[in-house]
Every structure is written in structure tokens, then in C-alpha cells.
Amino acid sequence: MVTRKVGKYQVGRTIGEGTFAKVKFAQNTETGQSVAMKIMAKSTIMKHRMVDQIRREISIMKIVRHPNIVRLHEVLASRTKIYIILEFVSGGELFDKIVHLGRLSENESRKYFQQLIDAVSHCHSKGVYHRDLKPENLLLDFHGNLKVSDFGLSALPQQEGGLLHTTCGTPNYVAPEVLSQLGYDGATADIWSCGVILYVIMAGHLPFEEIDLPSLYKKINAAEFSSPTWFSPGAKSLLEKILNPNPRTRIGIDSIRKHPWFQKNYIPVNHIEVEEVNLDDIRIAFEGIEDQYVTEQSEISEGGPLIMNAFEMITLSQGLNLSVLFDRGQDYVKRQTRFVSRKPAKVIFSSIEAVAEWMGMKVHARNYKMRLEGVYANKVSQLAAVLEVFEVAPALFMVDVRKAAGDTLEYHKFYKNLCAKLEHIIWRPAEGLANPSLLRTLTC
């Protein structure tokens, strides 16, 4: 078992994992504040020539401080790693809520869209264009408010005429002019993506979706979509103005805000910047100022899986509708992909390993943590998931499962199949359990 401390932060479980970074839950030991710690190896950053991109992403997140944007607290560095300390957003991805409910009501969709437009407007006022807006990059906090995240593809217009020329983003959400490779305005491209997001959260499916990219691009270029019957006339009117394939006549943010559908129950965010942006910690992290490096401390002890402490367990329930978390009778997968078991930790681990291999996945296992990788039929991208076993009470274990790579919908299908094969180890409390709140918190 390993316990870690980085500077003043006690480091806990991994809550996200990508190709170049891990995100761990952490707690500021001086203030008790929960944070998300994004950890990147300096060697990886150098190998992939990502120094400028990472510096830009960090600088942008410092510049665009807003209630509906994930806040960057500070940047730390050791000899081998960069640590980005971010606001901990406990409610999960907006995408997971759509998977959970199928689609959102028009009123709830409008609230999220209003918050999205406020955040994007603030970015644009700072000359920042996100360029990868999609539900997976929109998080929800404890109060159900939207937070824009992942500025890894963001840009500041530096080319002549202010046009951007890099084709990037997720194809289904990308504006037609981005695909043309003739240069595009970052602001109008972001607005298109916001329109696709509004459509998705109201409809529960994409407006532009095809099996192959040429057919998809053809539909996007023609803005060939139809609105479901449950969309109100006001919503349809606004979407037609946003999903306009001509960027010159596409509606702008000021006009979106004046649209009658948008105006309903709209409360503009009260945002006043009172502190100056300090970029000194970025310079320290990337310019090798060693006397400013943070200390890393690890304690290793032999034994079983990690024991999840109280402050980590509390965060599992924040921002969740606990009344539905333990109902496995639904045909959708909740956003909290975890289950509990009373089987011995070694039995849990070996059972998962056996099922994963039966499913044709590659298994990499170590210290009660496992990475599963697999390529699905007719799919180009690889799906990867990480599982970790935690002891949350004597003889009670939680298995935390999260997507590490691949399509989110494919991940949900994989998780549902995995659980179906692990029924023999998944524990369900008896009806009438005196204190089921812990189990509701720990299960999906």
C-alpha cells in the first residue's frame, strides 16, 4: 500500500487517466480543500514536444477565471513531474448525465446552455477559443452548475487576420469551416459546437452522425439535420441560427443572449475579477528553478488494496442523486461506475482478470490495480479501462472502474457487460438495511 504527499497536498485515488497525464484526487492539508491534481512526467512532455502546448493550456486556464470554468489553483513541479492543481468538480461529466437520463428536459437544457454561453463568452472576451467543446468536456459541480474544462486544444489568434488554421476537435462537434482548412474564426466555430451540444442534451443523440467520415463531413457542411418533435418552436429557431453552415451569417453570442428562448429564466452570472493573474508558478515549473521544487513523499507498506479514507469517501456522494444509485434494474449505466463486494480482495481481482481475458482484452495488473485494453470489431479506436480495488470497511471492498481511452458510449457498453459477468462477486445489501447510505455512495 502506498500513501503519497506532494508538498502540502495529500494524494488519494486516481479519478482520471489519459495518454499523457493522470488526475488524482487530493486534499490541501493546510485548508482541507479538495482538489484535482493533474500529474505529468517531464520526460513524456519533452519526448512528445508538448512543452509549448502544456504551457499554453495552463496559461489560458489562469487567464479565463469564471464561475462556469474549472479553476486552476496553482502549478507545482518536482525534478521529474509537473503538478497542475485544479478545482475538484464532483458531479461528473454532463455526458454521463445524458447517458443516465437519455435526454434532458428543455428547461434544464436551457440552464446548462446559458451557463455554457456565459463561459464561452468570457473566453472570447479574453481572446481565447476552446476548439473542443463537447459534453465530455463539460463538468457539473456539487450544486449542478456547469464547468467548462480541458483547454488542451485552445488557441489565441496569432495569425494574420486573426484566423486559425489547425483542424482539431471532435468531428461530430466541429464547424464546417474548420473542416474546409481555409482558415476560420475561433469564436464562430465555438458557437457551432455550442449548438451541437444544445441539440445533444435535448435530443439524446447527435444531429450529425454517420459511420464514415466523408458522409459525416457532407452532412455537417450542408447542416443536414432534423429536430425531434419535442423541441419547442423557440429551441428550433435558435438551433437553426446557430447550426448555420455559413460562419458569416451564423448568429453571434450577443444575439443568442437576446433570443427569446435563451432569455427565459436567464440570470446573467455575476462575475467580477478581483485578483491579478500570476504566472510565476508556470515559469518555475517549466524553467527548472530547482530551489522552488515541491517535495514528494511516499510511504510503502506491504498488504492488500488501498484503504479509502473518510475525505475521499465523502466526495463520492457529492453532487449525486443518491435515490437512484443502487438501482441496477435499469438498462443504462450510471456515471458512477463502481460496485462493492464482500469477497476477499484476491478473489475479486482474479475474477475480474478472468472475465476481462474472456472478453478478449489485454490485462496489465499490479498492486490491486488493473488496466484493460481491447479493440472492438469495426472500431478504429482502442478502448481502455482502469480498475482499482479499495477497502472501504472491514471485509467490504469497492471496485472503481473508469475509462482511460476510447469512445464513452463503448465504455458504458463494456462496463455493463463486465458487471453482468461479475454477478457472483457483486454484493447487494438486503432490503431494509438499517444504514444503506454508505452502499449507495459506493455503488453505481
Residues 233, 236, 241: CA angle, nearest 5 degrees: 130
Based on the domain organization, do 51 and 194 belong to the same domain? no
Phi-psi region at 256: left, alpha or beta (left = phi > 0; alpha = psi -120 to 50): alpha
CATH of the domain at 188: 1.10.510.10
Based on the domain organization, do 109 and 207 belong to the same domain? yes
Domains contained in the chain, number: 3
Cα dihedral sign, 116-142-321-266: negative
Based on the domain organization, do 46 and 130 belong to the same domain? no
Based on the domain organization, do 40 and 118 belong to the same domain? no
Can you list the alpha helix ranges (DSSP code H) found in 317-363?
A: 345-358
Q: Does residue 275 belong to any structural domain of this protein?
A: no
φ, ψ dihedrals at 273, nearest 5°: -85, 120
291 catalytic per annotation:
no
Q: Does residue 208 belong to any structural domain of this protein?
A: yes
Q: How confident is the model at residue 110 (pLDDT cuts 50, 70, 90)?
A: very high
Q: Does residue 34 belong to any structural domain of this protein?
A: yes
Helix (H, G, I), strand (E, B) or coil at 34: strand
Based on the domain organization, do 155 and 48 belong to the same domain? no
Q: Does residue 222 belong to any structural domain of this protein?
A: yes
Based on the domain organization, do 157 and 247 belong to the same domain? yes
Based on the domain organization, do 47 and 101 belong to the same domain? no
| Predicted confidence (pLDDT) per residue in 148-196, tens digit | 887 654 444 444 344 444 444 568 888 898 887 777 788 899 999 999 9
- Predicted local distance difference test score (pLDDT) of residue 57: 77
Q: Does residue 31 belong to any structural domain of this protein?
A: yes
- Domain encompassing residue 67: 2-89+284-300
φ, ψ dihedrals at 141, nearest 5°: -90, -175
Cell, residue 127: 481572446
Based on the domain organization, do 106 and 28 belong to the same domain? no
Based on the domain organization, do 123 and 10 belong to the same domain? no
pLDDT at 205 over 80: yes
Q: Is 379 marked as binding a ligand? A: no
| Predicted confidence (pLDDT) per residue in 323-370, tens digit | 222 233 333 334 457 888 888 888 998 999 999 989 888 898 877 888
Q: Does residue 326 belong to any structural domain of this protein?
A: yes
| Predicted confidence (pLDDT) per residue in 210-255, tens digit | 777 888 888 988 889 899 999 999 999 999 999 999 999 999 999 9
- Predicted local distance difference test score (pLDDT) of residue 408: 75
Indicate the length of the chain as a whole number.
444
Based on the domain organization, do 373 and 409 belong to the same domain? yes
- Predicted local distance difference test score (pLDDT) of residue 200: 92
Active-site residue, from 52, 96, 118, 132: 132
Per-residue CA distances from 98 to 91, 119, 259, 384, 407 (Å): 13, 20, 25, 21, 15
Q: Does residue 279 belong to any structural domain of this protein?
A: no
Based on the domain organization, do 239 and 144 belong to the same domain? yes
- Predicted local distance difference test score (pLDDT) of residue 431: 42
H or E stretch covering 106: helix 106-125
- Predicted local distance difference test score (pLDDT) of residue 309: 54
CATH of the domain at 44: 3.30.200.20
Q: Does residue 276 belong to any structural domain of this protein?
A: no
